[in-house]
Amino acid sequence: MRDRLLTLENEIRSSLEQSSDQDSLEALRIKYLGRKGLINQLIKEIAHLSTEERKVYGNKINQLKQKLSSELNSRFERFKEKSEATFEPLLPGKVPHIGHFHPLSKTFSEIVTFFKNYGFTVETGPEIEHDWYNFGALNMAKDHPARDMFSVFYIKEDLMLRSHTSPVQIRVMEKQKPPIKIICPGRCYRYDAFDASHAPVFHQVEVLYVDEGVSFGELKWILSEFVKRIFGPKTKYEIRPSFFPFTEPSGELAISCTVCGGEGCSVCGNSGWLELLGCGMVHPQVLKNVKISPKTYSGYAVGMGVERVAMVKYVIDDIRVFYNNDMRFLEQF
C-alpha cells in the first residue's frame, strides 16, 4: 500500500506539472478525484488492511485527496485570470457615447415620482382643447379679463392649443367622483415671444386632490414636502396671496434663492426669494361646473412649469437653452 501511494503521488505531481490549460486540469480531476477515480479505488482497497494500517493509510489518502483538490482549484484560478487578462479585442474601436436624460426629462420624472409616492396617479388629456375645458369650466367666462393672461393659439373659435394643463382636471372630475388624487404632466402652448423667460411650447404639471375635508393645511404640507425633496431639506419656502380664477384662495409658492440661500443676489433680484408655482383651493364654482358638490367636497390644485422648476433648481437664467440642443449645455447634467 505504501509503495502504491508513493507511486500515485509522484504520478500526480508530474501530471500537474505537465498540465497547461483548464481542460487538462479537468481531465486530471476526473482521473484522480472522480467517483471511479484512482484515489477512490485506493480507498476501497483499504478495507482489506488491518485496523491499524487502515487508520494510517486512510489518513494519508485523505490528505493526498485534499492536497490535490486545493492544488487543482488554485491552478484553475490562475489559468482563468490569465485568460481574462490576455483578452484583447480583435479590432481597436471607439467606446460608444452613452447618453443621458435631458434636464427637462429629469425634472419631469422627479416631480412625477414625488407625487406618485404620495398616492397621486398620472392622467393625460388632449393638447387641442375646447374653450369650455381650457377656460369656461375653469371659471373664466367668455368675457373674463383673466383670459388675457393666457396668450392662446386659436385653431378656430372655441378650439385651441391648450394654454395650461388645468383642462385635464376638468376632464377627470367630469368622469370620476371624489376622492380624486391626480397629476397631469404635459405640453402647453402660448404665443408669447420666445425670450429668456418665455417659450411658445413649454411643460406643466397639474396637481389635483379633491375629497371630503381637504384643507389648505394639506396643500401647505404637500408643498413643503415637495420643496424639501426637489430642492433640499434646508430650502425655505413661503406661500404668498395671489389670484387665479379657478382657485379661491389662491397662492404663489416662493422658495429661498438657490444661489445665495436667501442672502440676496442678482439671480433673485436681491430679494432672496424665487417664485416657483401657483396653487390654491379649487374654486367652488369649478366643482359645481363638474357636478361635484362644494358643500361636501373641497380640494386643492397646484400648477407648475417644469421649465421654471428646472431653471430654479439648476440656476439657469435663459429658458432657450433647454431647446437649443447645445451639447456643451446638455453634457453638464
Q: Where are the beta strands (DSSP E) in the chain?
A: 121-122, 128-130, 154-156, 159-161, 180-189, 201-212, 237-244, 247-256, 273-282, 297-305
CB 302 within 8 A of CB 277: yes
Residue corresponding to grid cell 444661489: 259
At closest approach, how far in Å is the CB of 252 from Zn ion? Answer: 17
Residues in Cβ contact with 292 at an 8 Å cutoff, skipping those fewer than 6 apart:
173, 177, 178, 210
Query: Closest-CB residue for Zn ion?
Result: 257
* Dihedral sign for Cα atoms in the order 199, 200, 205, 210: positive
| Closer CB to Zn ion, 36 or 234, in the complex | 234
| Closer CB to Zn ion, 56 or 265, in the complex | 265
At closest approach, how far in Å is the CB of 275 from Zn ion? Answer: 12
At closest approach, how far in Å is the CB of 235 from Zn ion? Answer: 12
| Closer CB to Zn ion, 249 or 272, in the complex | 272
Residue 109: helix, strand or coil by DSSP? helix
> Of 184, 143, 136, which Cα lies nearest the Cα of 160?
136
Q: In Å, what is the CA distance from 33 to each residue of 24, 28, 96? A: 14, 8, 47
**Residue 236, exposed/middle/buried by CB under 10 A (0-12, 13-18, 19+)?**
middle
| Closer CB to Zn ion, 170 or 257, in the complex | 257
Q: In Å, what is the CA distance from 170 to each residue of 115, 116, 184, 216, 269? A: 19, 20, 11, 20, 37
Q: In Å, what is the CA distance from 132 to each residue of 111, 129, 154, 159, 282? A: 28, 8, 13, 9, 17
| Closer CB to Zn ion, 49 or 259, in the complex | 259
Using DSSP bridges, classify how beta strands 180-189 and 121-122 pair: parallel, antiparallel or unpaired.
Answer: parallel
At closest approach, how far in Å is the CB of 254 from Zn ion? Answer: 12
**Cell output for 173:** 372630475
At closest approach, how far in Å is the CB of 318 from Zn ion? Answer: 17
At closest approach, how far in Å is the CB of 239 from Zn ion? Answer: 19
Q: How many CB atoms lie within 10 A of CB 68?
A: 22
**Residue 98, exposed/middle/buried by CB under 10 A (0-12, 13-18, 19+)?**
exposed
Residue corresponding to grid cell 481531465: 27
| Closer CB to Zn ion, 72 or 310, in the complex | 310
At closest approach, how far in Å is the CB of 203 from Zn ion? Answer: 25
Residues that bind Zn ion (CB under 5 A): 257, 259-260, 265, 267-268
| Closer CB to Zn ion, 37 or 261, in the complex | 261
| Closer CB to Zn ion, 49 or 267, in the complex | 267
At closest approach, how far in Å is the CB of 257 from Zn ion? Answer: 3
- Residue 275, marked binder: no
Sequence ranges of the binding site for Mg(2+): 248
Sequence ranges of the binding site: 248
